[in-house]
Amino acid sequence: MINLNRLAMYAAVVEAGSFTAAADALGTTKAVVSFNIKQLEQELGVALLTRSTRRLALTEAGEGFYGHCARLLREAESAVDEARSGQTALSGSLRVTASVDYGNLVVAPALAAYAREHPALRVSYRAGSVHADLIAERLDLAIRVGALEDSSYRATRIGQFRLWLVASPALLAQHGVLRTPQALAALPWLANRPG
């Protein structure tokens, strides 16, 4: 069977007009291109190119062969593109966990839309404030707030948020407007801690 790489090298030589220019275009050496063209001519049993120190020309057989090569290479590239484009549908399973508030508000609706786009993909979602062991619990993705604790995981920041200190108007009316962070200690307050 004919090596398609050799056909691609032959087409590159014809299109570039020289072995050196073809080698540059292909990211290889002139010697590699020359060797492959000689091998191709031996396999075909016909001379495709006439060479001199200053000039490169196609033989009659080389002209006809180039037309077929160019068409064949275009068809091969088209077949590869078509095969790759058919791989857009995702399948398998995707297991995701996220914190309860953010997860229920943002992650769950996004996962539902994603699952509709990829019906062959089984998506499972778990909300919780406890940081899960991704490996032990076979989770693919955890969406969390804060710094990455385990350096063996890969993390990407997907957003940011602000923390706000809030008080009801009734509390401020009773205790006055706070002027310093130390004044907080004297006020009744609620803390939210991960469980």
Sign of CA dihedral 10, 14, 19, 22: negative
Catalogue all structural domains in the chain, each as residue range(s) with its CATH number. Answer: 4-86 (1.10.10.10), 89-175 (3.40.190.10)
pLDDT at 122: 92
* 18, two tokens: 């020289």
* 108, two tokens: 């769950």
* Mode of pairing for the β-strands spanning 56-58 and 121-127: unpaired
Report pLDDT digits (tens) over 36-89.
999 999 999 999 999 877 788 999 999 999 999 999 999 988 888 877 776 667
**Dist CA 127 CA 109 (whole Å):** 13
Residues 122 and 90 sit within 8 Å (Cβ to Cβ): no
pLDDT at 193: 63
**Dist CA 112 CA 38 (whole Å):** 58
pLDDT by residue for the chain (195 residues), tens only, comes to 778 899 999 999 999 998 999 998 888 999 999 999 999 999 999 999 998 777 889 999 999 999 999 999 999 888 888 777 766 677 889 999 998 888 888 899 999 999 998 888 899 999 887 777 778 888 888 888 777 666 677 778 888 777 787 888 988 888 888 888 888 778 877 776 655
Q: pTM for this one? A: 0.45
DSSP 64: H
**Number of residues that this document lists for the chain:** 195
pLDDT at 14: 93
